[in-house]
Structure 1
């Protein structure tokens, strides 16, 4: 059973300001003062913290070494157009366990305001007074995203909720695919499959762990010592061979054939500087949801190893840029449509 904590309850009320925050982080802003200015508020950083934590609660960003970094879902939101933005936000909201339970409750009971507040109070692991304030914020998200409508003090789900369920199932089955230009020569035209964004965070973690576990078993089978350092380093596995050589391993996993993968700047820099780096690609990982354990179960994929991997500049493709604002430029507020 998913454990709900107070951090799952956002304190920031306006979805459009979360979108502005995500855009600002995508553009390279990180300090609380800069982020607060970008979303148009002024509270010496306090509101920026509230909105940052709200974005964390719906899986749009994470805090790494005290810096806000966009998740794949946050990056998808930052580069989305107006027609895509609503779908991405609705999927993000539903990925939060509190919203997921609220939506299921509304779908079944069509509660009034009092009933919904009482339900949230049962979910909230804190005081009833705070639960009341959090209920107001939760309702704002559901109404602003059009997942729910309130008619004559009855909360009911909308057709957007049903389409979100369909999108969620499709994302679970397919993941997020970033196509490249197709080759036009010969009869073997294809679009390259990319390690990209899987919307379900639990499935994404299961795929990552399957790939890392397969890579770990490979090196252990060669008599190496292996340490998982992915949480603290710019690579995933620290390997020491029987001869004493140190090797660094970057691991990528996908449910599809990997012809393309996303690399961070630090991953590229490290692989260029440390020559004993291997790239392991684990493709076609099978995943199945086990309702009895409420978890994803995975089967091994097909593993390919690129020894002494150095990222080739010709194969690297820029996905985002840092843009410096000079004094002669004036930054205007961007209209946000949800």
Structure 2
């Protein structure tokens, strides 16, 4: 029976994949919303730039401007995944990392609703090389294959 459904696991059109993508987006937006409220409470003007930049929020207060990377999770975390662009964007500029973890989810009327979570902020954040570890590699297929059909 499992073999009959193996083909749907990696298919972007499969509802489970779409649901997971939607759920990740719900969690991310909740974390960004929490971060925005926190930063506004400190007197910052907050602009959500996540759809057009490789970081999530741009904040200003007077002449001070900062970039903010936000991560959200439904479990308590002691590490987060960063893209190459997220690491590069935090290098050499004033940045903050905000993590909202332990977010609870309820499901009603076909919608996931996030709530709460623990907000932690790392001001003057720069991803240090010793704190980064590779979790994926891109391998370039070079040379002739030993077998091909």
TM-score range, shorter chain: 0.7 to 0.9
| 2:51 counterpart of 1:231 | yes
Query: TM-score normalised to the size of structure 2?
Result: 0.85
| 2:149 counterpart of 1:331 | no
Q: Quick check: which has more Rg, 1 or 2? A: 1
Q: CA RMSD in A?
A: 2.7
Distance in 2 (CA, whole Å) between partners of 1:296 and 1:220 is 26
Aligned residues: 145
Shift of 1:221: 0.9
| 2:30 counterpart of 1:219 | no
C-alpha change, 1:236 and 1:90, in structure 2 (3 Å) is: closer
| 2:109 counterpart of 1:285 | no
- The correspondence for 1:306, drawn from 96, 101, 122, is 122
| 2:54 counterpart of 1:240 | no
1:202–1:296: 8 Å Cα contact kept in structure 2? no
2:91–2:127: 8 Å Cα contact kept in structure 1? yes
Distance in 1 (CA, whole Å) between partners of 2:75 and 2:24 is 13
Shift of 1:252: 0.3
Matches within 5 A, 1:83-162: 86=6, 89=9, 93-95=14-16
Query: TM-score normalised to the size of structure 1?
Result: 0.39
Richer in helix (by share): 1
- The correspondence for 1:261, drawn from 70, 74, 80, is 80
State the secondary structure of the residue aligned to 1:248: strand
Shift of 1:95: 2.9
Richer in strand (by share): 2
Greater relative CO (CA pairs within 8 A, separation 6+): 2
Q: What is aligned with 1:6?
A: none
2:11–2:17: 8 Å Cα contact kept in structure 1? no
Distance in 2 (CA, whole Å) between partners of 1:334 and 1:300 is 53
